[in-house]
Amino acid sequence: MRIITLANQKGGVGKTTTAINLATALAAIGERVLIVDLDPQGNASTGLGIDKEERTLSSYDVLADKIPLSEVAIQTVVPNLWIVPSTMDLLGVEMEIAALPDRTTRLKSALGDAQDLFSYVLVDCPPSLNLLTINAMAAADSVLVPLQCEFFALEGLSQLLRTVEMVRQTINPQLIIQGIVLTMYDGRNNLANQVVDDVRAHMGDKVYETVIPRNVRISEAPSHGKPAILYDLKCSGSQAYLQLATEVIRRERRLKAA
Ligand code: ADP
Ligand code: MG
């Protein structure tokens, strides 16, 4: 089982969209994939068509009460893809577990008990470097960072990388950066091209070759409760996510072998 955490403390950079579409691409090639929705907003859950009423058990119950993932994970509209949904209850969980000695490793323990059920787990983080994101990093083999192609793309990245380093030094020595994916790229915009060049200059081969274009079909898909890849496979955004999936798999195989 490979665990990939999608993190960036900025909101609206494409974490959830990337989690949903990468997971769908992996599921489509026969991997058994689990998304863990760790954002109280629950966008990954909604985007995969999970109604609020269906969320009787959620990531809150996993973290607060140690309910096993096997009881909480729900099958989605995508074959081979399950989700641990989230609810607003998550907003309170930090306070509830803050004083517990295992506060940073509760997700790790839960996933450890689900080793045989899934081949890939993608953890969709909230837009914050809080205890939820720390739990996600503590549990992960690698971190995938979506960066929006906008002027302030690199701002905040060093703080994120410092957090990864802190987790590596304290809780999870094997943690590495899977890669950085540039999202919402608009080729007509000169600034976007400059951002791509800047990020590649700073981060080198950590940056995936695939760049996700800004694409209206991608933004429409969640309101239909489907991944873009199911909603419109041919659109440029879906095609880019399929390409990203091949890069992620290539890197995971290399990391696993190392
Ligand atoms: P995050 O999880 O980081 O907050 P989201 O994945 O929810 O970000 O994306 C923020 C918004 O941008 C959503 O409304 C989403 O549908 C939209 N979006 C994400 N990626 C694209 C894209 N490539 N093209 C167009 N809209 C996008
Ligand atoms: Mg999100």
DSSP label at residue 206: G
pLDDT digit string, tens, across residues 159-192: 999 999 999 999 999 999 999 999 999 989 889 9
- Nearest-CA residue for ligand 1 atom 24 is 214
Task: Give the tokens for residue 125.
Answer: 């983080």
DSSP label at residue 127: S
Residue 31 C-alpha to ligand 1 middle, in angstroms?
Answer: 24
Q: Are 178 and 251 in contact (CB under 8 A)?
A: yes
Q: What's the rounded Cα separation, in Å, for the pair 226 and 20?
A: 9
Helix (H) or strand (E) holding 68: none
- Nearest-CA residue for ligand 1 atom 11 is 12
Beta-carbon contacts of residue 114 (< 8 Å; ≥ 6 apart): 1, 34, 68, 69, 70, 73, 121
Q: Is 156 left (phi over 0), alpha (psi -120 to 50) or beta?
A: left
Neighbours of 160 (CB within 10 A): 21
- Whether 256 shows a pLDDT value over 80: the answer reads no
pLDDT digit string, tens, across residues 79-124: 999 999 999 999 999 999 999 999 999 999 999 999 999 999 999 9
Question: Does the C-beta of 244 come closer than 6 Å to ligand 1?
Answer: no
CATH number, position 244: 3.40.50.300
Alpha carbon 197 to chain centroid distance?
A: 24
Q: Which residues pair with 179 in a beta bridge?
A: 144
Residue 67 banded pLDDT, cuts 50, 70, 90:
very high
* pLDDT for res 154: 84
Instruction: Classify residue 117 as exposed, middle or buried by CB count within 10 Å of its CB (0-12, 13-18, 19+).
Output: middle
Q: State how many domains the chain has.
A: 1
Q: Are 168 and 134 in contact (CB under 8 A)?
A: no
**What percent of the chain is modeled with pLDDT above 90?**
93
Residue 147 C-alpha to ligand 2 middle, in angstroms?
Answer: 13
Task: Give the tokens for residue 169.
Answer: 């030094």
Residue 17 C-alpha to ligand 2 middle, in angstroms?
Answer: 7
Beta-carbon contacts of residue 15 (< 8 Å; ≥ 6 apart): 6, 7, 8, 124, 125, 127, 146
Residue 257 C-alpha to ligand 1 middle, in angstroms?
Answer: 33
Alpha carbon 200 to chain centroid distance?
A: 21
Q: What's the rounded Cα separation, in Å, for the pair 233 and 228?
A: 7
Domain that holds residue 14: 2-257
pLDDT digit string, tens, across residues 193-217: 999 999 999 999 999 999 999 999 9
Residue 101 one-letter amino acid: P
What is this model's ipTM? 0.99
pTM over 0.95: yes
Task: Give the tokens for residue 80.
Answer: 């081979």
Question: Does the C-beta of 14 come closer than 6 Å to ligand 1?
Answer: yes
